[in-house]
Structure 1
Amino acid sequence: MDWVRDFYSTTGGWWGAAEARITDRDRRRVALIHAHRGNARPGRVLELGSGYGATAAATAQAGHTVTAVEVSDRADFAARFARDTAPGSLVVLKEDFYAVRLPGRFDVVCYWNGFGVGSDADQRRLLARIGDEWLTPDGVALVDVANPFVWAGWDGDEEHRLPRPELGYHHELYERTSFDPVTCTAVDTWWSATDPTQRISQRLRCYTPADLSLLLTGTGLVLDRITVGDRTSAPTASPGLPELLREQHEYLAVLRREAGRA
């Protein structure tokens, strides 16, 4: 996973001026925390792969005590948010969440838009840390999972993105998406028009809800519910849910500690 720090640092440099801000997406994520936790009382929240820190800041502004962990240079953008998080608080750690040591447990652990980096063994190792080290017994973990149905449909797609300096986008970029049906992995490749020989890619392992349930075996976590778009359901098929899974490139997995887990 040596590519992770470089990919997100480079793309953060391209897009940070435009995207390092709190938007409705961040506020919707806070609403999901409250909905799946069952209340809006202040609690301890851990956000993994926190990027620019916008969602972490919005969570703190809702009253929570937030610890955010981000390995790439995107974490440098979060300093501006840490100064304005009342009535809660925000601490940003520029560290690898596979190695970081954190005191205490958390009522909520979030991983927005990033799960699937690395192998199945890597995912299990992270999930085991969430279940065994970080989550309180009655806590909830919220994890965005890449949806293979949509990513497979994007195989071979290419995009040309022109600069929009009025919005903070200053680079002319190209993107190509491919999907490996054997490993169920999406590969998202980017390059700058000024240097087309230097290409960077992110690789995201995609999981159906059934595959995710199998992945969770032995991690101390179970799949409680999934949220697809605006619909929350049990992790079994229900009327309309297969169509939603084909429209959304990711779904939110709601995870809880396995009953009887010490």
Structure 2
Amino acid sequence: MNWVREFYSVSGGWWAKADAKVTDRDRHRLSLLRNHGGSAGRVLELGSGYGATAMALAQAGYEVTAVEISDRADYFSGSDRDVAPGSVTVYKADFYEVRLPGQFDIVCYWNGFGVGSDADQRQLLGRIESEWLRPGGIALIDVANPLVWAGWDGDEERLSADPDAGYDYELVQRIRFDPITCSAIDTWWEASKPDSKISQFLRCYTPADLMLLLSGTGLTLTGIVAGDHALPPSPHPGLDALLRDRHEYLAILRRTADA
């Protein structure tokens, strides 16, 4: 996973002016966390990026610990922390290695799960269960949906610069999908620098695959959120949100309380 720090640092520089602030996306995540995790408590956010979602949670009164490996963490300014009724503590670190004090009521990982191998995911889930999540606590994890990513295989898109909106770079994105490993290869480059490409590699999981991955971890999939649908992990034939519309879904995981 040597590509992770570089990919998110370089791409973070492209989008920081537009995205390193609280937006509707972060407020939507706050709503999801309130609905499925409760209205108060200690929150651990893994892969916290610019810290915008952590800030939205802190403004709502949560005590947030945020972990981000890339330079995106540098955009979270100390002055922002002073305006929140809650709190934010940021660790610029690898969440496979970082040591954190105490346990958390909620662990969230937005738009990032699937980096690395199945073994890497199981290692991370093991840390969530054994180190970070209190008994009976909940984890909210965005999971890449293979049914949609596979449909994007071969797509290439050119994104024009929009300086007024904070997007200073003209970029190109190309997507490939490996059906053997069920992984998306998401490649980006500046249009003026076609020889300087960066890629992220995302292991995708159907809900059934995710339940197999969770076996033996002490975490149980109790629900999924796909688009506007909050559903139990049971058959739903023809669900458009998972078949065609949503490139990721939110997995709601619970830690079984200690006996």
Q: Is the 8 A contact 1:53 1:68 kept in 2?
A: yes
Q: Give the letter aligned to residue 36 of structure 1.
A: H
Find 2:172's aligned residue among 171, 174, 178: 174
Identity percentage of aligned residues: 64
Q: Does 1:233 align with 2:242?
A: no
Q: CA deviation at 1:244?
A: 1.3
Task: Report the 3-state secondary structure (helix = DSSP H, G, I; strand = E; otherwise coil) of the residue aligned with 1:18.
Answer: helix
**2:8 match:** 8
What runs of 5+ residues in structure 2 fail to find an aligned partner? Answer: none
Task: Report the 3-state secondary structure (helix = DSSP H, G, I; strand = E; otherwise coil) of the residue aligned with 2:113.
Answer: coil
Find 1:245's aligned residue among 242, 247, 252: 242
> Relative to structure 1, is the Cα distance of residues 71 and 227 closer, same or farther in structure 2, using a 3 angstrom cutoff?
same
Between the aligned partners of 1:18 and 1:165, the Cα distance in structure 2 is 9
Task: Report the 3-state secondary structure (helix = DSSP H, G, I; strand = E; otherwise coil) of the residue aligned with 1:69.
Answer: strand
Q: Is the 8 A contact 1:180 1:186 kept in 2?
A: yes
Q: Is the 8 A contact 2:115 2:202 kept in 1?
A: yes
Aligned-residue CA RMSD (Å): 1.3
Q: Give the letter aligned to residue 254 of structure 2.
A: R
Between the aligned partners of 2:79 and 2:216, the Cα distance in structure 1 is 37
Q: Give the letter aligned to residue 164 of structure 1.
A: D
Q: Give the letter aligned to residue 106 of structure 2.
A: V
- Deviation readout 1:5-36 (Å, 9 max, x if unpaired): 00000000111111111111111111111111
What runs of 5+ residues in structure 1 fail to find an aligned partner? Answer: none
Q: Is the 8 A contact 1:57 1:81 kept in 2?
A: no
Q: CA deviation at 1:82?
A: 4.0
Q: CA deviation at 1:258?
A: 3.0
Structure 1 segments of 4+ aligned residues over 3 angstroms from their partners = none
**2:120 match:** 122
Residue correspondence of structure 1 range 38-49 to structure 2 within 5 A: 39-40=38-39, 42-49=40-47
Q: CA deviation at 1:138?
A: 1.6
Between the aligned partners of 1:239 and 1:175, the Cα distance in structure 2 is 32
Count of aligned positions? 258
TM-score, normalised to structure 1, is 0.95
Q: Give the letter aligned to residue 128 of structure 2.
A: I
**1:83 match:** 81
Task: Report the 3-state secondary structure (helix = DSSP H, G, I; strand = E; otherwise coil) of the residue aligned with 2:57.
Answer: helix
Q: Is the 8 A contact 2:110 2:141 kept in 1?
A: yes
